[in-house]
Chains A and B, each alone.
Chain A
Amino acid sequence: GQNIDQPTEMTATEGAIVQINCTYQTSGFNGLFWYQQHAGEAPTFLSYNVLDGLEEKGRFSSFLSRSKGYSYLLLKELQMKDSASYLCAVRDSNYQLIWGAGTKLIIKP
């Protein structure tokens, strides 16, 4: 079977750094996506990785290791508005997107 594993919930402090991990077992790999979803809203695209290494976009960075089936999303200088669910999704060999259940991130002052 195919599955994506992410922690269900994480808590961090405003101004700090948090790393959200994602591990995957899929039939083939054609890229990994991270999305942010605020409560009651639709997901918004954050990042895409298909090669090993780190992709940096402002306060957000995403890392991929294909050999380990592992990715993380790193959020720096946390702000209260970063409180949201973060979804990891992997595109498999059939170009289907396999979605993780999401990690709910709670930011405390």
Chain B
Amino acid sequence: GAVVSQHPSRVICKSGTSVKIECRSLDFQATTMFWYRQFPKQSLMLMATSNEGSKATYEQGVEKDKFLINHASLTLSTLTVTSAHPEDSSFYICSASEPTSGSSGGTDTQYFGPGTRLTVL
């Protein structure tokens, strides 16, 4: 399957600072990437869909001014958590879609990066 990298894997920061997380598709081009957040023992929550060359589409309840997304190239999307607060501490995961084929037909499958664990003190 496709490989997606994410950096950094772990970050600890002080309240009020901004944190940038990078998501890269390593062996394919991704016009669409997705950003998720996952709190402990909870399911994935889609935050936004990142589209190369255009504005991201944010899910309801996600503040676009707080979670800045830039998808500047076909292999890189960044998420910046601005003025982070302790309640923003979470596991942030990106994914990128790549076409896959199989006996059940072809589709775009989301492949996930390894995630970034953010702790805001």
Which residues of A does B touch, CB under 8 Å?
A: 30-31, 33, 35, 40-45, 48-51, 53, 55, 87, 91, 97, 99-102
Cβ of A40: which chain B residues have Cβ within 8 Å of it?
A: 91, 117
Cα distance, A35 to B105, chains bound together (Å):
18
Indicate whether B107 reaches chain A with its CB closer than 8 angstroms. yes
Residues of B within 8 A of A (CB): 1, 6, 42-44, 46, 91, 93, 100, 102-105, 107, 109-115, 117
| CB–CB A101/B43 < 8 A | yes
Q: What 6 pairs between A and B have smallest CB-CB spacing?
A: A42-B112, A101-B43, A42-B115, A42-B93, A50-B105, A43-B112
A50 touches B104 (CB 8 A): yes
27 A–B pairs (Cβ distance < 8 Å), ordered by A: A31-B104, A31-B105, A31-B107, A33-B110, A40-B117, A41-B115, A42-B112, A42-B113, A43-B44, A43-B93, A43-B112, A44-B112, A45-B110, A48-B100, A48-B102, A48-B109, A49-B104, A50-B105, A50-B107, A51-B104, A51-B105, A87-B43, A97-B46, A97-B110, A99-B43, A99-B44, A99-B46
